Structure 1
Amino acid sequence: MIKNYEKFASVYDAIMDDLLYDKWTDFSLHHLPKKKDAKLLELACGTGIQSIRFKQAGFDVTGLDLSQDMLDIATKRAKSANLSIPFVQGNMLDLSSIGTFDYVTCYSDSICYMQDEVEVGDVFKQVYDHLNEGGVFIFDAHSTYQIDEVFPGYSHHENAEDFAMVWDSFEDEAPHSIVHELTFFIQDEDGRFTRYDEVHEERTYEILTYDILLEQAGFKNFKVYSDFEDKEPGEESKRWFFVCEK
């Protein structure tokens, strides 16, 4: 059990490349229709950095995440930016209590954390049912190339004054799946370092599988792009972006 999750999450934020949030924001603004006071739901909003970017861009934003600890940090972050953003604890597999929206986003490969394609399809159906007519759903996912060729054997070590991190990735059993093993050493207020271990399992699918699941959920019109740009996916594209219209 992580006792000081705020400290732990601040390490996540520290190792996250801020440029990615710029890229997600730019891609979204390019593909979401201009609409005054459009209601936007950010799924898997984490510590709220992207939600704040969307709010500053003029959207009426709601953030949803599974982790209340993450949402507590997001709430503090929004408050210190003098922004009012409702952050809701919930699971994207069940959006029944959250209302409807003009736009829904799900970034940082969060869809890859679903257990299997059944859950991915369930998320798509939930999103479809909670989008207004003409609404847009944008999500990104790791490409099969990224999962199969880039991640296996990946190792990243980071050292700072108050934390150290070891990140190793291994091929998992299911097709196009990966296990990330993360070990953090975080300095407490008394100067001692405490170890925290986390395991993250991700899985992706062929583009055709995502297409079929989107169609089954009700989406008739969607396009696939790659690596934050308006270009078709290639053999070595690392991140796919799906822009889906209701």
Structure 2
Amino acid sequence: MKNYQKFAAVYDSIMDDSLYDQWTDFSLRHFPKKKKAKLLELACGTGIQSIRFKQTGFDVTGLDLSQDMLDLAAKRAKTVHVDIPFVQGNMLDLSSVGTFDYVTCYSDSICYMEDEVEVGDVFKQVYDHLNEGGIFIFDVHSTYQTDEVFPGYSYHENAEDFAMVWDTYEDEAPHSVVHELTFFIQDEDGRFTRYDEIHEERTYDLLTYDILLEQAGFKNVKVYADFEDKEPRDTSRRWFFVCEK
């Protein structure tokens, strides 16, 4: 467990902290003003965004596939004295979590779904667990990001107690990429342990997302880009969808 905690700490340290501020600000601009609204954060990871939402005044539940990540999230919430239920679960089946006023799924987590059928299934699950008039906000990589920016991307980081190599390649399916991550993390005895991870991500064109959201039942869908309240351009890297039930 100690190694995993270090591993997740490495994840958190390479994540640009300002993104959480931007996700929070974007959400607050697009959620209706409602006191004590119930919010479900999908793919909540180590809980940083869930805590931001809780501190803003929402009644937050966090859901993630990884129990290890959730253990860290619970520990983090306890440290800052906030009470958030963190639920281990799959966003393809939300039957255990009840209903919410708002649902978010940030950090391109939808792009980890295997195909558009799964993406559509997530949208339907979210729709079914939103209260009437509820809002679902998520972001995904643009096709420009997967096709032009990511292939050939390489990032290396060296710190005292860890090193990381991150390479991204084009994958076989349209608009899909593979991230190969290698971490070297220092143990208590000073030795470095190697961890390898492969992350496969896939996105779709705007029309596909629109159709899948409509099929799920969403009636009012707005699309923005790169944390701003502006329409996507050809070179936008991250698309944001604000969907109303």
Length-normalised TM-score, structure 2: 0.99
- Counterpart position of 2:172: 173
Unaligned regions of 5+ residues in structure 2, if any?
none
Alpha-carbon separation, structure 1, partners of 2:190 and 2:4: 17
2:243 is matched with which residue?
244
Q: Following TM superposition, by how much is the alpha carbon of 1:4 offset from its aligned partner in structure 2, in angstroms? A: 1.9
Partner SS state of residue 52, structure 2: helix
Give the drift of 1:143: 0.0
- Distance in 1, matches of 2:229 and 2:194, equals 42
**What's 2:26 paired with?**
27
1:186 is aligned to 2:194: no
1:197 aligns with 2:173: no
Deviations 1:143-194 (CA, angstroms, capped at 9, x unpaired): 0000000000000000001000000000000000000000000000100000
Instruction: For 2:95 and 2:82, locate their aligned partners in 1 and report how far apart those are by CA, in whole Å.
Output: 26
* Shift >2 Å, 4+ stretches: none
Task: Name the TM-score, length of structure 1 as normaliser.
Answer: 0.99
Q: Which residue of 1 aligns with 2:35?
A: 36
Residue 132 of structure 1: aligned partner: 131
d(CA) in 1 for partners of 2:159, 2:46: 21
User: The residue matched to 1:152 in structure 2 has which SS?
Assistant: coil
Give the corresponding residue for 2:111. Answer: 112
| 1:7 matched residue in structure 2 | 6
Which amino acid counterpart does residue 110 of structure 1 have in structure 2?
S
Whole-angstrom distance in 2 between the partners of 1:224 and 1:104: 16
2:48 corresponds in structure 1 to 49
Q: Tell me how far apart the structure 1 counterparts of residues 55 and 83 of structure 2 sit (CA, whole Å).
A: 11
Runs of 5+ in structure 1 lacking a partner?
Answer: none
Find the aligned partners of 1:161 and 1:32 in 2 and give their Cα distance: 42
Q: String of CA shifts for 1:220-245, please: whole Å, max 9, x gaps.
A: 10100000000000000000000000
Deviation of residue 3 (structure 1)? Answer: 6.9
How many residue pairs align between the two structures?
245
Structure 2 distance, partners of 1:5, 1:213, is 36
1:63-212 to structure 2, matched below 5 A, reads 63-212=62-211
SS at match of 2:120: helix
Hey, what's the Cα distance between the residues in 2 that align with 1:189 and 1:26? 39
Aligned-residue CA RMSD (Å): 0.7
